[in-house]
């Protein structure tokens, strides 16, 4: 694998279809964008592992939806890792990059230094997806319990339970080191979807606590095709998923060459945040004078930080009442 071909596939989502079983999917590779998200806050390894998985899921799901603005994935949990939030912003114009951001909240004192499976650190909670098509449109939100032993399994249950679509994810993430370069985060994943057949939503639920699973969505030949393709996907190895020596198209050919795979143009993904001084002022302008006083530092300035990108804002609280007439007195640093 040359450096040029490696760069061509980093931070992309490749759409594909398997013509023989009528299954669609996505292959995601996140490199620089993921490294930026995870190193900005120097997350402990268990938190970084879960946030990397959430970023992969968000990138693949976001690219698979006819999205005009933003897809948000949010996990609200009851354990030491309390919150995972990621956003995928659709390209603003054809040929442009999509944008991805992510953040996690946790109690560092309750986290082990390293754990083979970080999912139990969530301690139960909710898995939610919100699709926002932009101004003038009402956001759509679906919520299901965390279940199945992983975030990817929770996402599969979400699609079966809320959308009646058979869905499967495999993901992998690790710090990797190329010759002569520092170690950095890389991740890769595959998403499969088989559109639900008529009446599938009336099938009995076979998952834990009565939740639906992908197997409940399909019957007959469709179910057999789904089982066969998933057995092929189970042979994917970690180094194939995260690369860089196996490109996404090579992976698809290795896994599914008998299923007649077709690919479309890969979607480029970049780190991106939508925070701005104006939005910060708009949010804080709704605070009472007492609340602003409690947030004022010894210099007499109110400060705010974006958890996603790390931007730091400082401004004179007296300017809040005048933001409609003139820009507030704001200092922003990254």
Distance separating alpha carbons of residues 247 and 262, to the nearest angstrom: 15
Mean pLDDT of 159-187: 90
Tens digits of residue pLDDT in 249-304: 999 999 999 999 999 999 999 998 776 667 666 667 677 777 777 777 788 777 76
Domains of the chain: 3-271 (3.55.30.10), 277-333 (no CATH)
Short-list 157, 137, 163, 138, CA closest to 65: 163
Confidence (pLDDT) at 328: 41
Confidence (pLDDT) at 210: 80
Distance separating alpha carbons of residues 178 and 51, to the nearest angstrom: 23
Mean pLDDT of 219-235: 95
Average pLDDT of every residue of the chain? 86
Confidence (pLDDT) at 327: 40
Confidence (pLDDT) at 289: 72
Tens digits of residue pLDDT in 40-84: 888 999 999 999 999 999 999 999 998 999 999 999 999 999 999
* pLDDT-derived band at 320, boundaries 50, 70, 90: low
Four-CA torsion 144, 147, 151, 157, nearest 10 degrees: -60
Angle, nearest 10°, between helix axes 248-256 and 220-233?
Answer: 120
What's this model's pTM, rounded to 2 decimal places?
0.85
């Amino acid at each position: 694998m040359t450096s040029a071909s490696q760069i061509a596939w980093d931070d992309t989502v490749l759409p594909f279809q398997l013509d023989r079983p009528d299954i669609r999917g996505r292959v995601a590779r996140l490199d620089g964008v993921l490294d930026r998200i995870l190193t900005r806050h120097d997350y402990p390894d268990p938190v970084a592992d879960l946030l990397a998985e959430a970023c992969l899921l968000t990138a693949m799901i976001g690219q698979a939806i006819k999205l005009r603005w933003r897809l948000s994935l949010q996990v609200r949990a009851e354990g030491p890792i309390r919150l995972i939030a990621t956003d995928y912003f659709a390209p603003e114009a054809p040929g442009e990059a999509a944008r991805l951001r992510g953040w996690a909240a946790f109690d560092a004192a309750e986290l082990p230094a390293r754990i083979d499976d970080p999912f139990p650190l969530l301690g139960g909670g909710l898995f939610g997806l919100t699709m926002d098509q932009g101004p003038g449109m009402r956001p759509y939100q679906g919520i299901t319990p965390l279940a199945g032993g992983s975030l990817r399994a929770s996402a599969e249950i979400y699609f079966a339970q809320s959308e009646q679509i058979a869905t499967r994810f495999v993901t992998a993430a690790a710090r990797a080191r190329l010759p002569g370069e520092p170690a950095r985060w890389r991740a890769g994943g595959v998403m499969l979807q088989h559109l639900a057949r008529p009446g599938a939503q009336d099938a009995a639920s076979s998952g834990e606590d009565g939740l639906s699973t992908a197997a409940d969505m399909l019957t007959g030949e469709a179910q057999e095709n789904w089982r066969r393709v998933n057995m092929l996907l189970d042979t994917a190895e970690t180094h194939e998923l995260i690369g860089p020596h196996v490109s996404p198209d090579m992976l698809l050919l290795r896994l599914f060459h008998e299923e007649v795979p077709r690919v479309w143009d890969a979607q480029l993904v970049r780190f991106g945040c939508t925070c701005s001084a104006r939005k910060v002022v708009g949010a804080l302008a709704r605070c009472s004078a007492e609340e602003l006083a409690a947030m004022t530092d010894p210099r007499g300035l109110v400060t705010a930080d974006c958890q996603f990108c790390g931007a730091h804002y400082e401004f004179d609280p007296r300017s809040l009442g005048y933001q409609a007439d003139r820009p507030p007195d704001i200092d922003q640093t990254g």
